[in-house]
Amino acid sequence: MKAPKILPWIAHKTGISEDLALKLWRRAAGEAEEMTGCCDSSDYYRLAVERFIDLSQAEGNSLLVRETPSVTCVFWLWRHQSRISSMHLLAMQNVARLMQSGVSKLLRIEGPAV
């Protein structure tokens, strides 16, 4: 799998080099593949990115000299963005359930008159 385009940004924000970030990405991708059993699902990618962010933050915090100060909320930012992007899907699912139950009730009320 190719490295994600967000890799240099995370490397910069956590204060590690891009070479080290690429090594950490490969490690995270391998661990995610072991956990999911495949390398083409959305669960695999989510696990790989989350693990990469964890590894890069741990490595960035362990460096003695940093070019830029590290931002410790990268993982939180990624999780928050994932939650926000999935909220509209949950809302649509709830609307569909509501409509389905409404239609079911309506059909039961307007059943054949005997």
Q: What is the spatial distance between Cα 48 and Cα 26, in angstroms, rounded to a whole number?
A: 9
> Are 5 and 43 in the same domain?
yes
Pairwise CA distance, residues 90 & 108, whole Å: 27
Examine the domain organization and report whether 63 and 89 are in the same domain.
Answer: no
Task: Please answer whether residues 16 and 68 qualify as being in contact, where contact means their C-beta atoms are separated by less than 8 angstroms.
Answer: no
40: containing domain: 1-72
- Taken as a whole, the chain contains a residue count of 114
pLDDT-based confidence at residue 114 (cuts at 50, 70, 90)? low
Q: Taking the mean position of all CA atoms in its chain, how far away is CA 19?
A: 23
Regarding whether 3 and 56 lie in a shared domain, the answer is yes
Give 61-73 pLDDT, tens digit per residue: 644 334 444 445 6
47 and 99 share a domain?
Answer: no
Domain count, the chain: 2
% of the chain with per-residue pLDDT over 70: 76
pLDDT per residue as tens digits for the range 54-105: 888 888 864 433 444 444 566 667 777 777 777 777 788 888 888 888 777 7
User: Quick check: pTM over 0.85?
Assistant: no
Same-domain status, 2 and 32? yes
